[in-house]
A and B are shown apart, each in its own frame.
Chain A
Amino acid sequence: MTVTGVRKDPAARTMTITAEFDAAPERVWRLWADPRQLERWWGPPERPATVVEHDLRPGGAVSYFVAGPDGERSPGWWRVHVVDAPRRLEFALGDPNIPALTVRVRLDARATGGTRMAIETTFPSSDAMVQLIGMGFEEGMSAAVGQMDAALVEGQR
């Protein structure tokens, strides 16, 4: 696995994941900029994405749908904010699988060759995420949740 770090900052509502690749930034950029390549990695094999529209310019949109295992289609979209090939990409993401987010992608050439990619995802929805995780909410919950964990797992089966 090429993931080199994951940082979750509840106060800033962000999750940042960094990865390193041997390929040059230009090559890594194409995985985002070429819709046919994007389709190959955006969704997992059991939920493949089909890109319908791919206008990678500030103000442009990328739209796609994800096909579920039983054939149902869920639409997803990007609203593109920043494009600076092959270094920076920022967009708002409405993805069928996760809440609305802002995504910031940074590609940096490594001194030793290859690329360091950082993806920062931010929950825009007010300060709910802060309150949800940053103010001890999760800790406050954990005792009660822990007790019922086994029952829940069983209930979901």
Chain B
Amino acid sequence: MVVDSAAGQQAVDRVFHALADATRRDILVRTLQAEHSVSALAHRYPMSFAAVQKHVAVLESAALVTKRRQGREQLVSGNVDTVRRAARLLDELEVVWRGRIGRLDAILAEGPTGATGATEAGGATGPTGEERA
């Protein structure tokens, strides 16, 4: 499962937010391939060191990259695990719904217990009296 809690949901939102910017995606791609210092990254983009540092911080808060210090340098590397999970959301979704449809099918296979249930017009009062088997 991608996410197991409300906190996990927030984590996913942070990932989406972080990935919604082209510079951050580019930084991520580079740091997945090799560790880069923030200053080396800053040379690649037409923006200030501080701006690049800010992008890195957004990526870091989404757990897409991790930072470590080496002397005066801050070294950034991509977090492959987070990226993989994000990229697989649609696949995860397929798995969730395949599971549900499989269970729907099993219930339907039990027999025509609900075959007459054509009456609900969308009201709050569904045929709730039917107990779990």
Do B118 and A141 touch across chains, with their CB atoms under 8 A apart?
no
Given contacts A3-B98, A128-B19, A131-B25, contact A85 B120 (CB under 8 A): yes
Residue of B nearest to A137 (CB): B25
Q: Please pick, from B25, B98, B116, B121, the residue contacting A1 in the complex, using a CB distance under 8 A.
A: B98
Measured CA separation A1–B98 after assembly (Å): 9
Question: Is B112 engaged at the interface, CB distance under 8 Å to the other chain?
Answer: yes
Question: Is A15 engaged at the interface, CB distance under 8 Å to the other chain?
Answer: yes
Interface residues of A in 113-139 (CB under 8 A from B): 117, 119, 121, 123, 125-129, 131-133, 137-138
Q: Please pick, from A17, A22, A23, A138, the residue contacting B101 in the complex, using a CB distance under 8 A.
A: A17
Given contacts A86-B118, A132-B86, A144-B80, contact A34 B99 (CB under 8 A): no
Do A99 and B2 touch across chains, with their CB atoms under 8 A apart?
yes
Do A98 and B89 touch across chains, with their CB atoms under 8 A apart?
yes
Task: Write the B1-20 contact mask toward A (1 if CB under 8 angstroms, else 0).
Answer: 11111100100110111011
Interface residues of B in 103-122 (CB under 8 A from A): 103-108, 112, 114-118, 120-122
Residue of A nearest to B88 (CB): A138
Give every chain B residue within 8 A of A6 (Cβ-Cβ). 94, 98
Do B16 and A125 touch across chains, with their CB atoms under 8 A apart?
yes
Binds A, one of B37-45, B48-56, B125-133: B125-133
Given contacts A57-B122, A100-B9, contact A21 B105 (CB under 8 A): yes
Do B2 and A97 touch across chains, with their CB atoms under 8 A apart?
yes
A-binding residues in B (CB < 8 A): 1-6, 9, 12-13, 15-17, 19-20, 25, 29, 32-33, 78, 80-81, 83-84, 86-87, 89-90, 92-94, 96-108, 112, 114-118, 120-124, 126-128, 130-133
A-B contact pairs, 10 of them (CB 8 A): A17-B94, A17-B101, A33-B120, A41-B103, A98-B92, A125-B13, A128-B15, A128-B19, A132-B19, A148-B80
B-binding residues in A (CB < 8 A): 1-3, 6, 8, 10, 15, 17, 19, 21-24, 26-31, 33-37, 39-42, 44, 54-58, 60, 68, 74-75, 83-86, 94, 96-101, 117, 119, 121, 123, 125-129, 131-133, 137-138, 140-141, 143-145, 148, 152, 155-156
